[in-house]
Amino acid sequence: MSRLGFKNYYLQGGDWGSLIVVNLVRLWPEQVLGVHLNMVGIMPFSTFKCASIHFMGSIFPSLFFSSPNVGPDHNAIEIFKRFTIETGYLHIQATRPDTVGTSLNDSPIGLAAYILEKFSVWTNLKENRGFQDGALTKKFTLDELLTIVMVYWVNGNIVNSQRFYREFFLDTRHMHLDSHYVSIPVAHASGLNEYFDRNPVELSRCQLNITHYNEYYFGHFAAFEEPKILAQDVFDFVKSLH
Ligand SMILES: *[C@@H]1O[C@H](CO)[C@@H](O)[C@H](O)[C@H]1NC(C)=O
């Protein structure tokens, strides 16, 4: 950003982007004016206070969490269960990325299946699993989905995208960064169908200065699924800072 000539800027991110932009803030806090996230991956056990809220909140959600959308399934066992059934890909990519990667680079059908399955279940895990076609075209057109697959196919870059996981977990520098509180304003547009960040905002506040929080009916690929809603939330957040 400095080389492009921007002294100050806002950041937006979801998925890996949310980790990347939050770490950018931790490294260059004086340059970033605000961060907008549509996924918040937090470590609830970062502080004693936070771990206590996490634990007590899982027993009495309505006493600790303001959102009516935090239900009885917010507890360590259910979170672990959800995480386990949906993260086989993560384990493979974090340990043996090239094995599956070379096969996918060799098969357009395999590549499409591997990628599009994510667009089905991560858009709405509870509902889309029940459909034979994964309800893929409920939110996206086949052309849009094929465009995404083609980006990987034409560039042959599925292997790189998978090896990223292995390199991330091998490199422990981010663990040190994780413990730094982010005091600049942070917005969270929380997707109610998002698989990975059903953390109550009270827990996200253990690590981030969340000044703007809204919940929406979208899933993991918010910018793709509901671009207008997400963009509006970004603009509202930036306006709220002036
Ligand atoms: C959060 O950000 C607001 C707006 O910049 C600021 O006034 C407040 O002091 C910050 N809070 C914390 C805990 O850093």
The reported pLDDT for the residue numbered 44 is: 63
The reported pLDDT for the residue numbered 43 is: 65
CA distance 127 to 218: 12
CA distance 208 to 22: 9
Q: Is the pLDDT of residue 240 over 70?
A: yes
User: Is the beta carbon of 240 within 6 A of some atom in ligand 1?
Assistant: no
pTM above 0.85? Answer: yes
Q: How far is the CA of 185 from the centre of ligand 1 (A)?
A: 6
Q: How far is the CA of 206 from the centre of ligand 1 (A)?
A: 13
The reported pLDDT for the residue numbered 45 is: 66
Name the more confident of 113 and 68: 113
CA distance 19 to 122: 18
User: Is the beta carbon of 211 within 6 A of some atom in ligand 1?
Assistant: yes
What backbone phi and psi angles, to 5 degrees, belong to 38? Answer: -115, 15
Average pLDDT, integer, range 205-228? 95
Q: Strand locations in 73-207, DSSP E?
A: 182-191
| 152 close to 111: Cβ distance less than 8 angstroms | yes
CATH architecture for residues 9-71+175-240: 3-Layer(aba) Sandwich (3.40)
User: Is the beta carbon of 33 within 6 A of some atom in ligand 1?
Assistant: no
Start and end residues for every CATH 3.40.50.1820 domain found in the chain? 9-71+175-240
Average pLDDT, integer, range 115-128? 93
Where residue 104 falls among pLDDT bands split at 50, 70, 90? very high
> In this structure, which residue's CA is closest to atom 14 in ligand 1?
183
User: Is the beta carbon of 101 within 6 A of some atom in ligand 1?
Assistant: no
**Residue listed under structure tokens 């509902």:** 127
Average pLDDT, integer, range 16-21? 93
**Residue listed under structure tokens 């599925």:** 158
Looking at every residue in the chain, the average pLDDT score rounds to 91
Positions marked active-site: 15, 165, 220
Q: Which atom of ligand 1 is nearest to the CA of 181?
A: 14
Note the pLDDT tens digit of each residue in 38-96.
999 766 666 788 888 888 888 888 888 999 888 777 888 888 888 888 899 999 999 99
Average pLDDT, integer, range 116-139? 92
